[in-house]
Amino acid sequence: MAAKIDDLEEGRLASASVKWTTHLLSLFVIAGLTAGVYATMTGHQIAYGLSREVPWGILTSSFAFFAITSTGLCLLGAISHAYGVTPLRPLGSRAVYLAIVTTVTAFMLLAFSVESPLLFIYYNAASPNLTSNIWWLSTLYGIMSGCLFLRFAFLVSGSQGLALTFGIIAAVTAVGANNNLGGLFTLASDPPIWFGIQLLILFLASAVLAGTATVIIFTVVAYKLRQQEIVGETHKALETAATLMALMAGIVLVVTIARFYSIFFSDTPDPGITAARALINGPLAVNFWCFEILTGLIVPLVLLLLTKTKSIWAMTLAACMAMVGAYVQRFDLVFSGQIVPKFSGWNDLPQYLHYFPSGAELIVVIGAFSLVGFGFLLGERFVGKLFRLY
Amino acid sequence: MKRLKTKRDRRTDNSGEVSFKERRRFLCLGLKITSVFVGGSILSLVPVPEVKSELLGVSVVGTYPYQPHYAMLIYKDRCIDCERCIEACTQTNNIPSYGSRNIILSRKKTGIAASKMIREFLPALCNQCNRPPCVRVCPTRATYKDKKNGIVMINESLCIGCKACMTACPYNARYYNREIQAVDKCDFCYHKRLQNGDTNTACAEACPAGALFFGDLSEHKSEIYKLLHKPEQTILVLRPESGSMPNVFYLQG
């Protein structure tokens, strides 16, 4: 199945509309990069809406969103290729490619989330702290992205054996990286809302949920671009992915309930309960109930169950809603841990702190989403045929 | 708030004198935190033995992990919010206008006469925890606990500004200093004073009310050791539920 890179090009996607969309997205990416560089040069507390009390904002949550999604895509690619879940195979190559794109996006966001990104690269290698989850997650995501690049290169060159080997390594490191991303929150005793082992399960189930949702959305869009109908094995693959997505939505829902149950009915210290109340009936309640629970989990689950995961439009809609819910969930997770002042009750501090992303932050986030779209279109156009060679 | 007295407490009360041995025995009694909350959710009343156990960082009584083992005692009722401690810290450690290494918290509380509200002040700074969450989360070992004196320090050149330490700190004791491009925090004036031979921090020296008391707990004859180990002393620490084992203690009166 060896193929030259030139042979993989989808000529029909060189249409004017695709080209213009690609150019437009590239402009957004440039704007995002410019805003990020500006923030790095001027300082985050000037360019971003962050403060001493809320040092992590929408960039950190967006990083978590793309990193978790890349884990899910990487796992999806691995189980379809390496672990013999054959019905998913038609989606495997695209999942691997999208995992690379989302990992690159996550790294872009990570770079703009820290004040000195170049020092991060250097000291991550020169002065590692093995007890730090940030060190582990950045290192493991680095290894994962390297393995994914190699895997993709071997897929292009037709070396299936090597592609599988690197796929397995990437999947293992992806799980480790995802666990450390979860550990960044769950291992910290303060703030107490982040503490708890359920979050790790939530992160993993959420990763597969986001991965399946992403691959469904982009596969459907890819077929729309080619003006092809989804039939045969691809249709079956999407049905399998949708079933997996429904299962994960159910698991995430159960774990979310368990998480809040354990916060309210265990010995969680007061700041943890106050933070949880911010989500239940406080300033984050709309985010939590409308986006996280209803849009992100319940409606997609009902849609998928009612259509028995057969309908393409239903699964696409469910996937889009699940991704919206997942994005809001990452934001709520990051912000809810900082929303309660550490010296609550003193200095006339409000019960809940305020945070709203600055213009620079929003531009970087738009740039990040555009990078995924840009990468997707480039992939479909220049190596699009590979996604059918499974 | 009433604390139950042990038999040994009562015996020492009767004799009127407390020998060092008896004090030691008293300190070995009851190792559980009572965690009776007074003054809000961040301050908890902790009995002396627990304080000692927390100071050690391990359940071995009679030894201290650091030589010297720096700590600070704060008489919380003595603070008058004059902010001279903040001023002294700012001048000594070149703190920029947007940052601070120490703060004075304040709130209204009911006075002795229930109808009268009074202002309560609480100086707060880095607690130089024995189990510092900030050190564990730092990816580049930029923040570390000094193996000799136990002070939580920052190697500015290693800091990448990920701010994980700021989210992990239970005391909001850190801020990002744009001038040095690193997170900054209290180091008990180690770089500006202690390593040059001074024995006191700038804030403790500047306090006109004697609210801040700095010293070495590994030295049993030191004033801070004696103050902290008075058998009937009520010691408070900030946010004990975080399990960080602070080295800044609060005394009533």
- Mapped to the 3 state alphabet, what secondary structure does chain B carry? CCCCCCHHHHHHHHHCCCCHHHHHHHHHCCCCCCCEECCCCCEEEECHHHHHHHHHCCCCCCCCCCCCCEEEEEECCCCCCCCHHHHHHHHHHCCCCCCCCCEEEEEEEECCCCCCEEEEEEEECCCCCCCCHHHHHCCCCCEEECCCCCCEEECHHHCCCCCHHHHHCCCCCCEEECCCCEEECCCCCCCCCHHHCCCCCHHHHHCCCCCEEEEECCCCCCHHHHHHCCCCCCEEEECHHHCCCCCEEEECC
The alpha-carbon gap from B155 to the nearest alpha carbon of chain A, in Å, equals: 11
Instruction: Find all residues with CB under 8 Å of A320, minimum gap 6, and list them.
Output: A213, A217
Q: Report helix, strand or coil for A171.
A: helix
Domain that holds residue B213: 36-128+186-251
Mean pLDDT computed over every residue of chain B:
79
Cross-chain CB nearest to B164 (options A134, A189, A345): A134
Domain total in chain B: 1
Residue with tokens 């309660």, as numbered in its chain: A340
Q: Is residue B99 part of a domain?
A: yes
Q: Is residue B165 part of a domain?
A: no
Range of the structural domain that residue A375 is part of: 5-342+349-388
Residue A288 pLDDT > 70, yes or no? yes
Has residue B51 been placed in a domain? yes
Residues of A in contact with B141 (CB under 8 A): 127-129
Q: Answer yes or no: is B157 within a domain.
A: no
Please answer yes or no on whether B166 and A55 come within 8 Å at the CB atom: yes
Of B161, B170, B239, the CB nearest to A116: B161
Q: Which residues of B touch A43 (CB under 8 A)?
A: 176, 178
For residues B173 and B186, give the distance between their C-alpha atoms in angstroms, rounded to a whole number: 8
The CATH number covering residue A214 comes to 1.20.1630.10
Nearest CA distance, A165 vs chain B (angstrom):
29
Long-range contacts from A305-309, C-beta under 8 angstroms, 24+ separation: A305/A246, A309/A239, A309/A242, A309/A243, A309/A246
Closest Cα in chain B to A349: B107
* Min distance A337 CA to chain B CA atoms (Å): 8
**Domain contains B216:** yes
Cα-Cα-Cα-Cα torsion B92, B96, B101, B104, nearest 10 degrees, comes to 100
Contact assignment for B170 to A338 by CB distance below 8 Å: no
Predicted pLDDT at A4: 66
Q: How many CB atoms lie within 10 A of CB B7?
A: 8
Q: What total of structural domains would you count in chain A?
A: 1
Residues 6+ apart with CB under 8 A from A69: A102, A207, A210, A211, A214, A326
Is the pLDDT reported for residue B25 higher than 80? Answer: no
Against a cut of 0.90, is the pTM above it? no
> Considering only A90-99, A103-112, A300-309, B230-239, which range has the smallest mean pLDDT?
B230-239
Chain A residues with CB inside 8 Å of B140's CB?
119-120, 123-124, 127-129, 135
pLDDT, tens digit (0-9, with 9 covering 90-100), for B169-222: 999 999 999 999 999 999 999 999 999 999 999 999 999 999 999 999 998 899
Instruction: Tell me whether residues B137 and A345 touch, CB distance under 8 A.
Output: no
With beta carbons under 8 A apart, name residues in chain B contacting A44.
Answer: 161, 176
> Interface pTM (ipTM) of the complex?
0.91
What does the pLDDT look like over B75-128, one tens digit per residue?
988 999 999 999 999 999 999 999 999 999 998 887 666 677 888 899 999 999
The rounded percent of chain B whose pLDDT value lies above 70 is 72
Measured between beta carbons, the chain A residues lying within 8 angstroms of B166 are 52, 55
Distance CA(B106)–CA(B92), nearest Å, equals: 24
d(CA A100, CA B56) in angstroms, rounded, equals: 48
Closest of A206, A194, A183, A222 to residue A279, by C-alpha: A194
- CATH code of B227's domain: 3.30.70.20
Confidence class for position B57, pLDDT limits 50, 70, 90: very low
